[in-house]
Each structure stands twice: as C-alpha cells, then as structure tokens.
C-alpha cells in the first residue's frame, strides 16, 4: 500500500521539477528521489529503505486486544 501511495505522490511531485522523469536525462539530479531510476519499479528493499525504526507496537496491540482467542482471527477476517 505504501508503494502505491508513494508512486502517486512521487509522480505529481517529480512532474513539477522534471519535464519527464522517465527520460534518462539528469538521472543523478537532486530533483529525483534517491535510488529510484526512470522506471516505476518497486526496489526490493523499499519497505525498509527510508525507515530507521521498525515500529510494530500498533500491530502487537491490535493482535493482543482484537484477535479472537479461539480462531486467532481479527474481527474483519473471514473464517475459512
């Protein structure tokens, strides 16, 4: 989900500064996002690239307080 939101925001922001971000022109420019080239391809390390802290507090809280003790499912998950 974060990648999809980033792509949308990135496209709008870069279009402001770079005539066409998909051109190979000025690939090293500071107007471009670091580490991203001219293709809309998600880098393999994208989920952890710009985050120094892996905060799982919310996930742990939700699982601890909302998960069904018998099925292990969250209220919005369907039982199979």
16-45 residue pLDDT tens: 555 566 667 666 766 666 666 677 777 787
3-15 residue pLDDT tens: 777 777 776 665 5
CA 31 to chain centre: 20
Q: Write down the pLDDT at residue 20.
A: 64
Task: Print the domain residue range for 16.
Answer: 2-54
Task: Look up tokens 């710009």; give the residue.
Answer: 50
- 64 within some domain: no
The total number of structural domains that make up the chain: 1
**Total Cβ atoms within 10 A of residue 42:** 13
pLDDT classification of 62: cutoffs 50, 70, 90: very high
- 77 within some domain: no
Q: Write down the pLDDT at residue 75.
A: 92
- 50 within some domain: yes
CA 17 to chain centre: 22
Separation of alpha carbons 38 and 31, rounded Å: 13
- 44 within some domain: yes
């Amino acid at each position: 989900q974060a990648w999809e939101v980033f792509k949308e925001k990135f496209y709008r922001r870069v279009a402001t500064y770079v005539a066409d971000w998909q051109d190979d022109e000025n690939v090293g420019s500071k107007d471009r996002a670091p580490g991203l080239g001219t293709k809309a391809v998600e880098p393999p390390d994208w989920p952890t690239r710009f985050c120094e802290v892996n905060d799982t507090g919310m996930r742990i809280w939700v699982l601890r307080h909302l998960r069904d003790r018998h099925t292990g499912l969250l209220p919005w998950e369907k039982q199979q």
